[in-house]
Amino acid sequence: MIDIIIETLIESIKLIPFLFVTYLIMEYIEHKTKDKTKETIKKSGKIGPLIGSILGIFPQCGFSVSATNLYAARVITLGTLISVYLSTSDEMLPIFISEAVSIDIILKILGIKLVIGIIAGFIIDWFLRLKNKNQEEEKIVDLCEKEHCHCENSILKSSLKHTINIFIYIFIISIIMHLIIHFIGEEAIASLVLNKPIIGPVIAGLIGLIPNCAASVILTQMYLENLITASTLISGLLVGAGVGLAVLFKTNKGIKDNLKILVLLYSIGVISGIFLEFIGIANF
């Protein structure tokens, strides 16, 4: 058991330089484009789901939180909010980059999430317009962004904090998975998910509901350990909206509305994962 912990620690430490450089670049881009990104999505109108999905695929700090606040103020539509949630991947991208995952696989996963986000967002907005459920415009109030994002810090400090947080997540989760694999066996664990196209996305979707970056870390590490398929990974990542879901229940009025959004997001993620399994489009 000690050997497993030491080996996992060494493997995790090796990722630190890659994670730090990745977050440093992401923080720099975000600080330069943060206001422009928010203004773009606010002005997107009927093409909101398209703009939201495109901006959502870039793992910007607190972007799902910003979108949630804009929806709570009814500045953006429900379809746009769902599009952002579906396309957001949180920590998947930096972990994939640090693990030297093929760029082809990364682009395929991001592309599938992008397409699903766009389609789902437009369908939702079309359905709401059909039902004549107009949304009121209210004053925008940015809440909780500092609590959850901490982007008020310097680029260097923010990058270092993200790196440390994700390193801890990866280390703890990796130890847990390695211990489970050691005592139960990789084949036994894989058979619980890999050979069950419906159960896999259902479980991954539940993991995705964890309201922080732990969800994407868990799912990504499971995929890298060959414990889940790409379609199951995508299912969980579609549901995972980071801290956006936690902020939704805090800032958006109406618990029923929030629960409906939660169920809608989960349903889209699970159904998409099952569909991808059956058509074999995400076998990589």
pLDDT digits (tens, 9 = 90+) for 116-139: 999 999 999 999 888 765 544 444
Terminal C-alpha separation, the chain: 32
CB of 61 closer than 8 Å to CB of 158: yes
Closest CA to 34 of 48, 7, 55, 14: 55
Enumerate residues 6+ apart whose C-beta is below 8 A from 7.
178
**pLDDT at 40 (0 to 100):** 58
255 against 163, higher pLDDT = 255
CB of 56 closer than 8 Å to CB of 88: yes
Instruction: Name the token pair of 149.
Output: 């994002």
- Answer whether residue 284 is part of any domain: no
- Answer whether residue 33 is part of any domain: yes
CA dist 62 and 58 (Å) reads: 11
- Answer whether residue 125 is part of any domain: yes
- For 187-228, the pLDDT digits (tens) are 666 666 655 668 889 988 988 887 766 778 888 888 888 888
To which residue do tokens 């058509």 refer? 279
**Tally of domains within the chain:** 1
Average pLDDT for 52-75 = 75
**pLDDT at 70 (0 to 100):** 78
- Answer whether residue 191 is part of any domain: yes
Q: Provide the residue range defining the domain that includes 71.
A: 2-279
**pLDDT at 132 (0 to 100):** 65
Enumerate residues 6+ apart whose C-beta is below 8 A from 233.
109, 204, 219, 220, 222, 223
CB of 169 closer than 8 Å to CB of 213: yes
Enumerate residues 6+ apart whose C-beta is below 8 A from 137.
73, 74, 75
Neighbour-count burial of 15, counting CB atoms closer than 10 A to its CB (0-12 exposed, 13-18 middle, 19+ buried): buried
